[in-house]
Amino acid sequence: LVGATTTWLVCSGLVEAGVLGSSVYPLFDAARAVGNPIVINALFTGTILSCMASANGCITDSSRAWYAMSRDTLIPEIFGVLHPKYKTPYRAILFLLPIAIAFGYTGMLDQVVTFSILSALLVYIMSAIMMVKFRRMYPMGTIQREYVSPFHPVPSIILMVIAVMAIVGMYFGYWINILGGLAFYFLASLWFKKRREHYIDFNSFIGNADAWPRAEGY
């Protein structure tokens, strides 16, 4: 919060609001407004390194997510295989890498980042909802807990409010991205539900955590 607030304050003081709001690279544009070659080159280098690190992290995280979903029978089993030597989900990496590169070459960095942020916000909202639902399904004292969230459900409510406010704020500039993202996840949810029904009867597992299937190694 401190870092983001400082960045907003500095950038809005260096670049006109209209220009800053439509900029695809607001930090770099703010650096160019300073006019100092050292500042410009330093922020340019930092931006390139951060983009590379972010892309590498996304590929690594997403490949592990695809591996886990494949092991849970949510997506085809072909992605649930580890490399015999490096123990990495290499099939998922090889599948997702060209997709990530293709998005990078579109030049629409702000659109891609917006979709990524929307995905994270949806995860936060669903996590908060499931926290409340889980506590109702298994009240205190019914199962063993390694950690107990204090002041429940206040943290979950605060998280949901902040996430929803962020999505509302995004709507004014990227409403097409938000609607497209929601449509994508709606269709993906239908796919997961339809595919999962071939493997498991959800009704037989409701309220019975011991009966939940667990993949080998989890």
In a 10 Å sphere around its CB, with 0-12 CB exposed, 13-18 middle and 19+ buried, how is residue 52 labelled? exposed
Residues spanned by the domain of 171: 108-206
Tell me if 176 is assigned to some domain.
yes
| Most confident by average pLDDT, 3-17, 104-118, 185-199 | 3-17
Close Cβ partners of 108 (under 8 Å, ≥ 6 residues apart):
24
pLDDT at 215 over 50: no
Flag whether pLDDT at 153 surpasses 50: yes
Half-sphere exposure of 9 toward its Cβ, with a 13 Å CA cutoff?
A: 6
pLDDT at residue 171, rounded to an integer = 80
**Of 33-42, 124-133, 185-194, minimum mean pLDDT range:** 185-194
CA 191, CA 124: separation in Å to the nearest integer? 21
Of the candidates 153, 148, 147, the residue with the CA atom closest to the CA atom of residue 133: 153
Q: Is the pLDDT assigned to residue 199 strictly greater than 80?
A: no
* pLDDT at site 206: 54
Within the chain, how many helices (H) and strands (E) appear?
7, 0
Q: The pTM is what?
A: 0.62
Q: Which of 170, 81, 156, 85 has the alpha carbon at shortest distance from 119?
A: 170
Mean pLDDT rounded to a whole number for the chain:
84
Long-range contact list for 112-118, CB < 8 A, 24+ apart?
A: 114/170, 114/174, 114/177, 114/178, 115/177, 115/180, 115/181, 116/58, 117/166, 117/170, 118/167, 118/170, 118/177, 118/178, 118/181, 118/182
Q: What is the distance between the alpha carbons of residues 95 and 103, in angstroms, rounded to a whole number?
A: 14
Q: What is the pLDDT of residues 83-99, one digit of tens each?
A: 999 999 999 999 988 88
CA distance 32 to 28: 6
In a domain, 159, yes or no: yes
Average pLDDT rounded to a whole number, residues 159-164: 93
Is the per-residue pLDDT at 203 higher than 70? Answer: no
Residue 74 in domain: no
Total domains, the chain: 1
Asked whether residue 94 is domain-assigned, the answer is no
Tell me if 187 is assigned to some domain: yes
Instruction: Assess if residue 56 is contained within a domain.
Output: no
- Percent of the chain exceeding pLDDT 90 equals 29
Give the mean pLDDT of 69-80: 88
Check residues 217 and 130 and name the one with the higher pLDDT.
Answer: 130
From the list 164, 129, 131, the residue with the least C-alpha distance to 150 is 131
In a domain, 183, yes or no: yes
pLDDT at site 112: 77
Q: Is residue 25 pLDDT above 90, yes or no? A: no
Note the pLDDT of residue 74.
Answer: 82
The answer to whether 111 and 177 have CB atoms below 8 angstroms apart is yes
In the prediction, which pLDDT does 200 show?
Answer: 64
Q: What is the pLDDT of residue 196?
A: 74
Confidence band of 216 (pLDDT split at 50, 70, 90): very low
69 within a domain of the structure (yes/no): no
